[in-house]
Amino acid sequence: MNIRLTVLAGDGIGPEVMHEGLRALERVAKIGGHRLELRNGLIGGAAIDATGEAFPGQTRALCEDSDAVLLGAVGGPKWSDPNASVRPEQGLLDLRSALDVYANLRPVATHPALYDASPLRPERLHNVDILVVRELTGGAYLGEKNRTADSAMDVCSYQRHEIERILRMAGELAGRRQARVTSVDKANVMETSRLWRSIADELFCAEFPQIELEHMFIDAATMHLLSRADSFDVIVTENMFGDILTDEASMLCGSMGMLPSASLNKDRRGLYEPIHGSAPDIAGRGIANPCGMILSVALMLRYSLGLEEEAKLLEDAVYAAVEAGHRTADIGLPDTPPVSTQAMGDAVIAELG
């Protein structure tokens, strides 16, 4: 297979983890006999410094002409002025809009080798395998905004078609898993949630009668995610709630550095990135965990390219490396020196053979 990818290393630790993700991808591509065409683009703070824009037109063109896009991270204190007219996060929002990636998939699966890295007791971590499906292009993050000296407004708005398409994707994915969907909302307070809940009931009754659907308020979901995480299969929710839940869920797996994400459009072309940010406090020190980036590459192989065997090979290699004792600082063991970003990448590649 010929694979055309746009690589956006971004800011902070983005270039460091991207380097290891690409090394792992190149090894898997060689094993599978695939040809890679990698094109590099600028986004976020790096793009602002070079062009004055967070998502330059040249980068947009590359992304729109790719099978998939790999992203490191954006942002940092250099560009953190809230009054700035151009900010790195605008580039990320523009990228999502350009690709129309409305469905953000974040798998959360615990692994016995990392139970010790989680702040939760091991018995709370057994058999956790969750897929969070987050709506990505609507809600308060992208709604109408206004600010004065004494007031501010972020409008949370959703249209029926936006809700239907994310619920439909959740139903389709649940059909390949345990056939259970938990729809998370705040229907006791918010009108958008009331609309969300009514559409969910209609759609699942009509299109997915075989899927067990339950509704849960966001405050209850945040509690149950830590107290009985193994009871969830697929969680579907709106943009802001999904952002919060998946950051919380990272503690089940030991570190945000371990979690990947996929953002898909209707054609399953996607944007793939670890869920962590640019971590400017550790940038350039060679200690960032590249596993979230490497596992994001695996999601790309699965969802956009249909290469399930290669995806599984890469995922297995990551956890084999962890089981063998290779740990970056964020998932380190007491009295065991952590490995560097590159050494972690080396360990994963060695497991690939």
The residues that are catalytic are: 141, 186, 219, 243, 247
Contact between 270 and 303 under an 8 Å Cβ cutoff? The reply is yes
CA proximity to 33, closest of 3, 6, 5: 3
Rounded CA gap, 227 and 225, in Å? 6
Residue type, position 328, single letter: T
Strands 2-10 and 260-264: unpaired
Helix (H) or strand (E) holding 180: strand 180-185
**Phi and psi torsions of 335, nearest 5°:** 65, 15
Tokens standing for residue 167? 């619920």
The alpha carbon of residue 177 and the mean position of all alpha carbons in its chain are separated, in whole angstroms, by 19
Cα distances (angstroms) measured from residue 99 to each of 1, 67, 170, 324: 22, 11, 19, 38
Strand blocks (E) in the chain = 2-10, 35-40, 68-73, 103-109, 129-135, 145-147, 152-154, 180-185, 212-217, 234-237, 260-264, 270-274
CA dihedral angle for residue 120, residue 123, residue 126, residue 128, rounded to 10 degrees: -40
Report DSSP letters for 1-40, one per residue. Answer: -EEEEEEEEESTTHHHHHHHHHHHHHHHHHHHT-EEEEEE
Residues paired with residue 182 on neighbouring β-strands, in sequence order: 214, 235
